[in-house]
Chains A and B, each alone.
Chain A
Amino acid sequence: GAVVSQHPSRVICKSGTSVKIECRSLDFQATTMFWYRQFPKQSLMLMATSNEGSKATYEQGVEKDKFLINHASLTLSTLTVTSAHPEDSSFYICSARPSGADTQYFGPGTRLTVL
């Protein structure tokens, strides 16, 4: 149980384009989902907390207009990187917390490369 999927697993795009990443909880409902970014050999960095049906809460320094988060259902959250640039190239990982629980389960991650 507690499986989280992400799609796509890997994406390469041109500078200036937008990329959407999906995060799904497959066997549980998740009121809260989280989006992280991780650069090579660095720690996880929380970007935002996403609550179903409400606006995401962004961490300090994360541009909400650049990283659009939508959590329209209890099993799906999306992260859209708008007007991507090479410095946005990173490993994006979502996690989901089952409703009523405090454990977070991570998706497999999406590796974004912006050319």
Chain B
Amino acid sequence: QKEVEQNSGPLSVPEGAIASLNCTYSDRGSQSFFWYRQYSGKSPELIMSIYSNGDKEDGRFTAQLNKASQYVSLLIRDSQPSDSATYLCAALSWGAQKLVFGQGTRLTINP
């Protein structure tokens, strides 16, 4: 069973601090990793994708991938109340069509 695990939270972070979201995956054949943000009542929107070990930065967001540890993380710097949402981690295995999603981490940024 291919699994992606996330802490469901809720994770509370004060405004302006760094929010750290973590994800582990079981399938060593996973090649591509994605972070989606989902606001309550809305559909998921893509934040970042990452394919190689190391860090990938995009504005206030940094994705980190460690394939040896089967670990993906998302850092949000200078957290804003508008970052409050559920964050979904997803993995795609080589040759597979469908993403495997984690259950999501609910993040709350406190003003």
Contact = CB atoms under 8 A, between A and B. Distances in A.
Interface in B18-61: 31-32, 34, 36, 41-46, 49
Contacts of A91: 41, 43
Report the interface size class on chain B. 10 to 19
Contacts of A44: 44, 88, 101
Contacts of B36: 106
Contacts of A93: 43-44
B67 to A, nearest CB: 16
Given A43-B103, A44-B88, A102-B92, A109 B98 contact: no
Interface residues of A, number: 16
Nearest to B96: A102
A103 B41 CA distance: 22
Nearest to B45: A106
Interface in A56-82: none
A103 B49 contact: yes
B44 A106 contact: yes
B43 A103 contact: no
Contact of B42 (A34, A104, A105, A108): A108
B98 A108 contact: no
A107 B44 CA distance: 8
B43 A108 contact: yes
A34 B101 CA distance: 13
Interface in B91-111: 92, 97-99, 101, 103-104
Given A43-B104, A44-B88, A104 B99 contact: yes
B107 to A, nearest CB: 15
A32 interface: yes
A102 B73 CA distance: 19
Contacts of A104: 34, 46, 99
Interface of A: 32, 34, 43-44, 46, 49, 91, 93, 102-109
11 contacts: A44-B101, A46-B98, A49-B98, A91-B43, A102-B92, A103-B34, A103-B46, A104-B34, A106-B43, A106-B46, A108-B43
